[in-house]
Amino acid sequence: MLTILIATPFLSALAALLPVSRDFRLKLFLAVSVIYSLITALFWKDLPASEYNGFLVLDSLGLILLSIISFLFLSVAIFMIGYFQHEQRSNRTLSACVLFLLSTMTLVAVSYHFGLLWVAIEATTLFSAPLISFHRNQQSLQATWRYLLICSVGIALSLMGTFLLAIAAHDVHTLLLPALLKGAPLLSVNWLKLSIIFFIVGYGCKMGLAPTHSWKPEAYGQSTGMVGVLMAGVLPQCSFLALLRISQICNKTGLTGFYSSILIVSGLLSFVVPAIFILGEKNIKRAFAYSSIEHMGFLVLGLGLGGVGLFGALFHMINNALAKVIMFLTAGSIAQKYGSSRTDDIRGVIHIYPVTGIFMIAALLAGTGVFPFATFHSELLILNASIISQHYFLAAVGIICLAVMFIGIGKIVLGVIHGQPKEPLLAKKENVIMNAAIAVAVVLLISIGLWMPSPLEHLLHHAVTLIGAV
Amino acid sequence: MTSWVDVICIIVVFLSLVILSNSRVTAMIRVFALQSFVLGLLPFFLHISGMSGRVVMISLVTIILKAGLVPYILFWAIRHVSMRTEIKPILGFGTSIILGAIVIAGAFWVSLSLKLPGKPVSDLILPCSLSTVLLGFMIMVTRTRAVTQVLGYLILENGIFLFAISLFDEMPALIEMGVLLDIFVAVFIMAIVVNHINEEFEKNTVSVGRSKMGETF
């Protein structure tokens, strides 16, 4: 079953590379996403059996990521149909790479071997790079280059971390997760510490945590809205899954304190840095990229704090993904209508496109964590965890930075939805399909904000016990 | 055959230094190919008594991909003549060499305090791989050309590979192949982007100026 889930998008990607019509590619992508989502929905009832001698296993953590992947790709597949009604460019590279990305991300979610996990995460980097330069111009090529180079180096460091883990696990003779957890007392602690540092720097670079975040505003700012969703919503969370897997080992070997202190520091940095840069920002997508850095900060902070914070972090994985759908798809739809995503060029969205204008406000509220959007709850849980564990300074900084982010993004969003447009616009009508894709995410994010369904709560609790934090 | 392993380790570090001090991109790619070829031979010497199909396969794949295809793709990416010489690196070549020597000394000093579990084949593997990784970083940071940055990345990768070979048993061969394949695809995509960057700059030569061709930032 897992093999099918990985192979189907891969084969479809190969088919999308063939000289077929644009419509066929869009339909193929939609069909694959629908089938993929149905299979994932089945996994909520029964987890599939492990495959290839335990190399591919789906557990609760993987299922969270898999559900996020399936929802996001489905949204993008629907949105893409609307988007390409107004777009003349070929979608060959775009749809092939998106499908390759789907395949490799699935591999990330189900791989239980640290080497395989690395191979899969590196592959997601490679297949997402061509997506950034969809509008092939100087800026987007530079953004692609910066993304490719910074992330490749980051990922190379985590390869080093993987090998250091192999040295630490010299007496276990394998890098399979269950064997490592079972043989935890045999691991050499010093080598493990070294490998943890490399892992956090490497996978943190891919997540866009603060000191290594510089590729994020460039890459998200230059890519189209659909690509932005995938790059901000799932790609960093794939690396976060790797950090979760490492925390499983740390909790078994008594290195929880060491691991969480590093995570808390990088989480704190990821709060402060975007708050500094957001206020001068003049591009919607770049502003949303800074918001994404902050959300990643929340994830690692929650993981570092453990307990309620860990539950919050896992919940935030889902909320962050849904919020990113609203933010980047709306930004993409506006960018297509105005031919730019700079705030100077966009005025009066709510007067000309009322529905998109409302979505823009929803994006502001969802992205900054305002009730009733579920991001509010998960952010509150994580801040709560920092108060429970008596990190009062951390909570104070977090709240101040959240306020600054709200002001920064609010200024941009309110600026673009009011006022009068300068030039006559490209498309006068709203696109129903594009709006439908966004509306589903808005409704979903509000409803899990108001009421958490019991299967979801059960899954999150099970995932927390799987990590085994004390 | 510890002595041969030692020799290979030294050659790898030495070739990294050669690349660091070179100014011609074509020469740098050739030296990189040589370095990868030497590295590809390492599994043979490590397992000279117990040769298995797995050893041969990893050796062959490494040599074909890293010493054959990757340099070929890089040459394809720089077929524009103006790309072939390095222009004003951030650090001068003399300074780079001295810094490189300090980096190597530092790597040896650090690895004194790191002890590999089990019986290491050679004491030089760890310090040499660390030096190569750090020299790769130096090349990436001090050069402005896109192609040279890719070369720096590849040298860094070679350093990690040297390190990985010493832990041959823990990694299944299939995963090792996956790692190599990923690196190959990375270079492939990087070469395409480098090529696109060149084309874009050529279109805008009036506004940008020819001297900036191929520079990334």
CA distances from A97 to A105, A215, A304, A342, A437 (A): 12, 20, 34, 27, 21
Q: How far apart are CA B35 and CA B45, in angstroms?
A: 16
Q: Which of these ranges, A180-194, A200-214, B69-83, B198-212, has the smallest mean pLDDT?
A: B198-212
Query: Is B66 inside any structural domain?
Result: yes
Q: Do A138 and B200 touch (CB under 8 A)?
A: yes
Is the pLDDT score of A298 beyond 90?
yes
pLDDT at A85: 84
pLDDT band at B204 (very low <50, low <70, confident <90, very high): low
Token pair listed for A403 = 């306020």
Is the pLDDT score of A444 beyond 90?
yes
pLDDT at B213: 44
Do B154 and B187 contact (CB within 8 A), yes or no? yes
Query: Is any Cβ of chain A less than 8 angstroms from the Cβ of B118?
Result: yes
Of A125, A133, A146, the CB nearest to B196: A133
Is the pLDDT score of B169 beyond 70?
no
pLDDT at B119: 65
Query: Is B200 inside any structural domain?
Result: yes
Q: A463 vs chain B: nearest CA distance in angstroms?
A: 27
pLDDT at A469: 60
Question: Across residues B196-217, what is the average pLDDT?
Answer: 54
First to last CA, chain B: 46
Do B22 and B152 contact (CB within 8 A), yes or no? no
Host domain of residue B108: 2-212
Inter-chain Cβ pairs, chain A and chain B, closer than 8 A:
101
Q: A264 vs chain B: nearest CA distance in angstroms?
A: 27
pLDDT band at A72 (very low <50, low <70, confident <90, very high): very high
Is the pLDDT score of B217 beyond 50?
no
pLDDT band at A364 (very low <50, low <70, confident <90, very high): very high
pLDDT at A344: 82
pLDDT 10s digits, B97-119: 899 999 999 999 988 887 777 66
Question: Across residues B34-46, what is the average pLDDT?
Answer: 87
Which residues in B lie closer than 8 A to residue A170 (C-beta atoms)?
117-118, 167, 170
Query: Is B217 inside any structural domain?
Result: no
Q: Which residues does A contribute to its contact with B (CB < 8 Å)?
A: 113, 115-116, 118-119, 122-123, 125-126, 129-130, 133, 136-138, 141-142, 144-146, 148-149, 152-153, 156, 159-160, 163, 166-167, 169-171, 173-175, 188, 191, 194
Token pair listed for A368 = 């900054």
Is the pLDDT score of B195 beyond 60?
yes
B74 against B215, higher pLDDT: B74
The nearest alpha carbon in chain B to A154 belongs to: B153
Among B164, B187, B155, B184, smallest CA distance to B15 is for: B155
Token pair listed for A88 = 């003349």
pLDDT 10s digits, A20-64: 888 899 999 999 999 999 999 999 988 888 888 888 999 999 999
pLDDT at B207: 42
Question: Across residues B67-90, what is the average pLDDT?
Answer: 76
Please report, for chain A, the start and end positions of each structural domain, with discontinuous segments joined by +: 2-467
Q: For residue A130, say if its preceding peptide bond is cis, omega within 30 degrees of 0.
A: no
Q: Do A126 and B186 touch (CB under 8 A)?
A: yes
pLDDT band at A66 (very low <50, low <70, confident <90, very high): very high
Is the pLDDT score of B190 beyond 90?
no
Residue B46 neighbours by CB distance under 10 Å: 22
